[in-house]
Chains A and B, each alone.
Chain A
Amino acid sequence: RKEVEQDPGPFNVPEGATVAFNCTYSNSASQSFFWYRQDCRKEPKLLMSVYSSGNEDGRFTAQLNRASQYISLLIRDSKLSDSATYLCVVASNQGGKLIFGQGTELSVKP
Chain B
Amino acid sequence: GAVVSQHPSWVICKSGTSVKIECRSLDFQATTMFWYRQFPKQSLMLMATSNEGSKATYEQGVEKDKFLINHASLTLSTLTVTSAHPEDSSFYICSASGTGLQETQYFGPGTRLLVL
Select one of A42, A99, A102 contacting B109, CB under 8 A: A42
One of B43-51, B62-70, B75-83 at the interface: B43-51
**A103 contact set on B, CB distance < 8 A:** 43
Q: How many residues of B contact A (CB 8 A)?
A: 23
Q: In chain A between 54 and 110, which residues have their CB closer than 8 angstroms to a CB of chain B? A: 87, 91, 95-103
Complex formed: what's the CA distance from A45 to B49 in Å?
A: 19
Expressed in whole angstroms, the minimum distance between the Cβ of A81 and any Cβ of chain B is 19
B interface: dominant SS: strand
**A96 contact set on B, CB distance < 8 A:** 32, 97, 103, 105
Q: In the bound complex, do residue A100 and residue B44 qualify as a contact, i.e. CB atoms below 8 Å apart? A: yes
Residue of A nearest to B46 (CB): A97
Task: Identify the interface centre among A87, A99, A100: most chain B CB within 10 Å of its CB.
Answer: A100
Select one of B32, B43, B49, B112 contacting A87, CB under 8 A: B43
**12 A-B contacts (beta carbon < 8 Å):** A4-B43, A8-B41, A43-B93, A45-B107, A96-B103, A96-B105, A97-B34, A97-B46, A98-B34, A98-B46, A100-B36, A103-B43
Chain B residues close to A by CB (< 8 Å): 32, 34, 36, 41-46, 49, 57, 91, 93, 95, 97, 103-105, 107-110, 112
Task: Known A-B contacts: A8-B41, A41-B110, A103-B43. Give 15 more (CB < 8 A).
Answer: A41-B91, A41-B112, A42-B109, A42-B110, A43-B107, A43-B109, A45-B107, A46-B104, A87-B44, A91-B103, A95-B32, A99-B46, A100-B36, A101-B43, A102-B43
Chain A residues close to B by CB (< 8 Å): 4, 8, 41-46, 87, 91, 95-103
